[in-house]
Amino acid sequence: MALTFRDGVYACIPTLLGYIGIGIAAGVVGNSANLSVLEITLLAAIVYAGAAQFIIAGLMLVATPISAIIFAVFLVNSRHFLMSMAIAPTFRRYSFIQNINIGSLLTDETFAVAINAITNKIPVNAVWMQGLNITAYIAWILSCFIGALIGQWLPNPAMFGLDYALVAMFIGLVYLQFIGDKSKSMKNRIIVMLTVAIMLIFLMRFVSPELSILISTFSGCFMGLAMERDA
């Protein structure tokens, strides 16, 4: 039986706590950067990227030129090229417009849910993916809006640890991927993670954090491919 849009909505539910927590944090931080509730909500709807929204708020506080902000956001979101390429073969049979819709709303969380389903041989389809993506998109916008409202009464978001919300989410995603993907051996997954971590620590001494993340991710991908070929 083919998966439905509703199945995609249900698949997104376990990730909603992450969206709500980080979205509220992004809204609060955006408010501390002197953005209005409308501006924060539009940022969530148009940019739709948690890490990027935190970066934009931080850079605006120090009056960074718009060109530098655009470049920083591009670098930190360039990982989406890798995520899109990873799931693209599954949706090859669908139209170009459908693939644009799927890729445009792909996030770290929806990618983690989708790639876990794909590796476990669940027959995902475009309708299911749209249910997953759209649910996450709506939850994110509403959470940022609520965070923007709350931020008007919080003078210092760091006091509540809200700046750590994004880090906590990624730790959770790594853990879920670590225990959920049964298609790779534990040894190979540990080696790939160590490759990324070591490369990241080394590269951050010489290049920007955003570029370090991108290069480290590519290194992990190449290591994974090399081990697959040797297996």
Residues of the chain with confidence (pLDDT) below 50: none
What is the model's pLDDT at position 155?
A: 61
Residues 189 and 176 in one domain: no
Residues 60 and 140 in one domain: yes
Residues 138 and 197 in one domain: no
pTM of the model: 0.72
Indicate the number of domains in the chain: 2
Q: Is the dihedral of CA 106, 112, 113, 116 positive or negative?
A: positive
What is the model's pLDDT at position 77?
A: 80
What is the model's pLDDT at position 52?
A: 82
Domain that holds residue 19: 5-182
What is the model's pLDDT at position 157?
A: 60
Residues 122 and 216 in one domain: no
What is the model's pLDDT at position 73?
A: 81
d(CA 226, CA 173): 24
What is the model's pLDDT at position 192?
A: 81
Q: CB-side exposure of 12: number of CA atoms within 13 Å?
A: 27
Residues 224 and 133 in one domain: no
Residues 124 and 137 in one domain: yes
What is the model's pLDDT at position 144?
A: 93
Residues 110 and 127 in one domain: yes
